[in-house]
Homo-oligomer: A and B are copies of this chain.
Amino acid sequence: MELFTAIHTRPSCRDFLDDDIEKDLIEKIIEAGIMAPSPLNSQPWNFIVIKSPTVKDHLFEDAQKCKATAVEISGWKWLETYSVNFLKTAPVIIVVTGDKTKSGVDQFNEDGPVAYQHACAAAIQNMLLAAHALGIGSVWFTLFDKNSVKALLNIDDNKVPLAFVCLGKPAGESAKTSRKPLAKKTIFME
């Protein structure tokens, strides 16, 4: 797929078919992630590929709890209706973790390192584009409790689970989201 087509037509997909995703496609998606830039080329990402229904059930239950807490804290009633069922129906979930010791100069920041997270986000964007080009739908999900996911997946202390990339063949056409145009977002200081 042509790059700009991929960038401009990639939807978030939350409705997946049961079909499994072949391992070589999962690897192509992760290899795209790995090509992102990172501070001092520290490559702070790691990937955990989950297909187990039991593990996905745990992730779903955790997300349900997180959602309930978020509704309480935010007062956003509408959030109750936001379904996270896709955590059960997505045939594959890739948990992306970031290693906070791999953050370049940023590791000396007073407020703690964050550049490693930016690099992982860039990797995730590559993964979403790659999935789309391969005919696989994806959604970037973050409504989970980091500590609970760390415990469930035995993640090292230095590594922070940053996102779930949920993947599967799309069950239908995914809704497109609009964007504010460049003119509202850009200042030309030439």
**Given the complex, which residues of B lie within 8 Å of A178, measured CB to CB?**
41
- Counting chain B CB atoms within 10 Å of each CB, which of A1, A32, A105, A124 scores highest? A105
With A182-B27, A182-B34, A185-B30: A4-B125 Cβ-Cβ less than 8 Å: no
User: How many angstroms between the C-alpha atoms of A129 and B128 in the bound complex?
Assistant: 13
User: How many angstroms between the C-alpha atoms of A29 and B155 in the bound complex?
Assistant: 37
**Given the complex, which residues of B lie within 8 Å of A27, measured CB to CB?**
182
State how many residues of chain A have any CB contact under 8 Å with chain B: 73
- Additional 14 contacts, C-beta under 8 A, given A30-B182, A46-B187, A122-B124: A1-B3, A3-B3, A4-B32, A7-B126, A12-B37, A23-B188, A39-B142, A41-B177, A47-B182, A47-B187, A49-B187, A49-B190, A117-B117, A117-B118
Residues of chain A whose beta carbon lies under 8 Å from any beta carbon of chain B: 1-4, 6-8, 10, 12, 23, 27-28, 30-32, 34-37, 39, 41, 43, 45-52, 55, 70, 73-74, 76, 79, 104-106, 108, 114-115, 117-122, 124-126, 128-130, 133, 140, 142-143, 153, 162-163, 177-182, 185-190
